[in-house]
Structure 1
Amino acid sequence: MKKTPLNETHKKLGAKMIDFGGWEMPVEYSSIIEEHKAVREKCGIFDVSHMGEIIVSGKKAEDSIQRLITNDAAKLSRGEILYTPMCNEEGGIIDDLLVYKLEDNKFMLVVNASNTEKDYKWISSHLLEETAAENKSEDYALIALQGPESRNILQKLTNINLAELKYYKFEISEAAEVDAIISRTGYTGELGYELYFSALKAEKVWDSLMEAGENYGLKPAGLGARNTLRLEKKMNLYGNDMTEKNHPLEAGLGWTVKLDKGDFIGREKIKKYKENGYPNKLAGFKITGRGIARHGYEVYDKGKKIGVVTSGSYSPTLEENIGLAYLDKTIIEDGREIEIKVRNRFVKAEIVEGAFV
């Protein structure tokens, strides 16, 4: 298994380690519920150094990225970030990623850990002339500081005015005396920051943040809490809620598809889906009976199969079991009763439109 630069730190903290897409990662330290609540109420610190960083630079860097993604990178100024799917010719989602505009002809693409090699090959093979891609994933550590107290904690370690750093913007500065990209982003729906910096400085930055957060209720948080936090905010997880078999419209990502920006890979197929319709769409649900729905469980309406669960978990905030599923579009309405086959029994649930929390 691959290890992040903070692997030993997690073990010293008593983390329960798991295999996550070929990476040895902390799933929890104290408990998922405790860590989840810390992020919602105070602050959590996550090691997400397994994520991939690919630098695209050169004369036609922006044009190359425009061909690769569904969203519009042309509207980015230096210091701005874009969330976007990257699709194949069939409109299937290869990955969802963040695009950071570092300079006019230089971008950083942040991709999902298990997709880094696949994405790097795809990106490299679709670049225009005088443009290059470099996989810099091993050079970077990435720490996410998430929760209402994140600004107070990080402000102790940086000279930039964090109150002025808006959502989906970044600055290149210092954090804990280490050169870093300080980004106002996250995967929790809370106020939060993500720090990209040299992997060699990972322990220094982690320890400095932990010390700065002592009086603010800062807790280390693992992938378990990261999952429940993102699910409460209805943020898709690649590999669960979308794969190359899904297009952005059915995955609820229509807002990231800019058909009028010019040509991009998958545009024609996605345009056809928009014009002709598509049968299923990702929707949220909460269990009203007893049981937790897991990935792959079937969903029924009056005895007829209407979909399949992609994510399911207990919600520590709501104290209910929630999830996401691809459902027949014709039945998606808030509060509608459905049933989920949990092992060999049918459990009552209802559709929830909008974020759970």
Structure 2
Amino acid sequence: MQQLRNIQVKTGAKFAGNTQDIEVPVSFGNDVAGLQASQEEIVVCDRSHWGRIQVSDEERLRFLHNQSTNDFQQLKPGQGCDTVFITSTARTIDLVTAYVTEEAVLLLVSPNRRKFLMEWLDRYIFFADKVQLKDITDETAAFSLIGPKSDAVLEQLGASAIINQPYAHHTLVNIGSEVRVTVGSGLALPGYTLIVPVAAAANVWNSIVQAGVKPIGDRVWEQLRILQGRPTPEKELTEDYNPLEAGLWHSISFDKGCYIGQETIARLNTYKGVKQHLWGIRLDSQVEPGGVITVGDEKVGRLTSCTATEQGYFGLGYIRNKAGGIGLRVEIGDTRGEIVDVPFLTHEYYQGE
């Protein structure tokens, strides 16, 4: 990884430590251009500080099926999905992307949930269970290609076989070394995520940048996350909210059997019991997350994230359904805002058969 960091420094990277004391490239000095390129062209983001947990042995699919919201039993090697780990009362722990291989399931987890999820999952492995956990974060790197021109770059890298495959499908490609190329940027924007052996990280990063791809730092990722509406632990995903409120309906199977938190999720869906939803909020000034959202004198929600861009200020926040949705005018202290849709989230009830 030091070789990778040295290369990134030469292209303007500035680093900061995260909560796990891992150096993260925060910016490449091109934040404004990088944000624009992510939506019009293509960028690459180093997500190596995200956790990668390998779940192996014979009962791995059954185990994950019982521990999270999506249906693992129907997945075959080369396929994958987003899934949510929740508590017994359906409070959110993390939104995770899972990739099923011939020998294991690889989980890409949020940076601040790596250790927590290892301990959480281990708690549910009993003596007779044929399930093994391994944190492979330090053995691998992760890069996401983000933007509408991602396909063209993938062709240059010799990975065209994965183009047009469904979300979270993946395959091994030789890019100087064997790399797992997966469909999906981690956002609602088109793209791909590459899981790379750490020894090959510098060479693969070089190959991507030499193909004309602009690198972006974690600061631009955070802007994109908020603009796109991807919820994150300790902000939108906390003990205060469930995954239906968080707009993660696409990550939940309503047809599968019992799993941790399933009864609460089923009841909320069946009786339309979700009282609030996560929305985007276009703001007229910067606001600190945690601020109370009001309509007139009535409290209707709470702001969870906020970012500044060249186009203005934007936030995410939970809004009570009775207050309204898209187009609702709100206030957060002296700041005014308007509720808008964001592409990553859905607010739909599953009807069943």
Distance in 1 separating the partners of 2:159 and 2:85: 35
Q: Tell me the residue number matched to 2:87.
A: 88
Q: Which amino acid aligns with 1:19?
A: G
My pick for the range that moved more, 47-56 or 266-275, is 266-275
Which residue pairs with 1:63 in the alignment? Answer: 62
Distance between the aligned counterparts of 1:77 and 1:142, measured in 2? 22
Structure 1 position 336, deviation (Å): 1.4
Structure 2: how far apart are the matches of 1:198 and 1:261? 34
Deviates more, 1:108-117 or 1:229-238: 229-238
Structure 2 residues not aligned, in runs of 5+: 346-353
Q: Residue 9 of structure 1 aligns to which amino acid in structure 2?
A: I
- The alpha-carbon deviation at position 253 of structure 1 amounts to 1.5
1:35 aligns with 2:34: yes
Residue 321 (structure 2) pairs with residue 329 (structure 1): yes
Counterpart-to-counterpart distance in 2, 1:187 and 1:17: 21
Distance 1:202 1:298, change over 3 A: same
Q: Any runs of at least 4 consecutive aligned residues in structure 1 with deviations exceeding 6 A, and if so which?
A: none
Give yes or no for the alignment of 1:339 onto 2:337: no
**What is aligned with 1:281?**
277
Matches within 5 A, 1:39-118: 39-103=38-102, 106-118=104-116
User: How far apart are residue 38 of structure 1 and its match?
Assistant: 1.6
Counterparts in 2 of 1:232 and 1:212: CA distance versus 1, 3 Å: same
Counterpart Cα distance in 2 of 1:134 and 1:243 = 25
Task: Classify 1:159/1:47 alpha carbon distance in 2 versus 1 (closer, same or farther; 3 Å).
Answer: closer
Match of 2:264 in 1: 269
1:149 maps to 2:149: yes
Offset of 1:8 from its aligned partner?
Answer: 2.8
Q: Deviations over 1:69-125 (max 9, x none)?
A: 11111222221110011111121112110111102x621111111111110111122
Tell me what 2:348 maps to.
none
- For 1:205-224, list aligned pairs within 5 A: 205-213=204-212, 218-224=213-219
CA gap of 1:297–1:225, structure 2 versus 1, over 3 A, is same
Q: Does the aligned pair in 1 maintain the 2:81–2:167 contact within 8 Å?
A: no
> TM-score if structure 1 supplies the norm length?
0.89
Which amino acid letter does the alignment assign opposite residue 257 of structure 1?
I
Question: How far apart in 1 are the matches of 2:164 and 2:295?
Answer: 48
TM-score (norm 2): 0.90
Give the letter aligned to residue 105 of structure 2: F
Contact 1:338 1:348 in 2 (8 A): yes
Closer/same/farther in 2, CA of residues 136 and 202 from structure 1, 3 Å limit: same
SS across alignment from 1:108:
strand
Corresponding position of 1:181: 180
| Corresponding position of 1:237 | 232
Residue identity opposite 2:196 in structure 1? F
- Computed over aligned residues only, the root mean square deviation of the Cα atoms, in angstroms, reads 2.2
Q: Equivalent residue for 2:350?
A: none
1:255: how far off?
Answer: 3.4
**Mapped partners of 1:166, 1:74: distance in 2:** 18
Find the aligned partners of 1:7 and 1:170 in 2 and give their Cα distance. 26
Structure 2 partner of 1:303: 297
Fraction of identical pairs, as percent: 25
- 1:5 to partner: Cα distance: 6.3
SS in 2 for 1:161: helix
Letter in 1 for 2:275: P
Separation of aligned partners in 1, 2:2 and 2:324: 41
Distance 1:207 1:140 in 2: 16
Aligned residue for 1:21, secondary structure, equals coil
What whole-Å deviation, never above 9, does each CA across 1:248-281 have from its counterpart, x for those lacking one? 1111123322243011011123233333724332
**Is the partner of 2:181 in helix, strand or coil?**
strand
2:340 aligned residue: 352
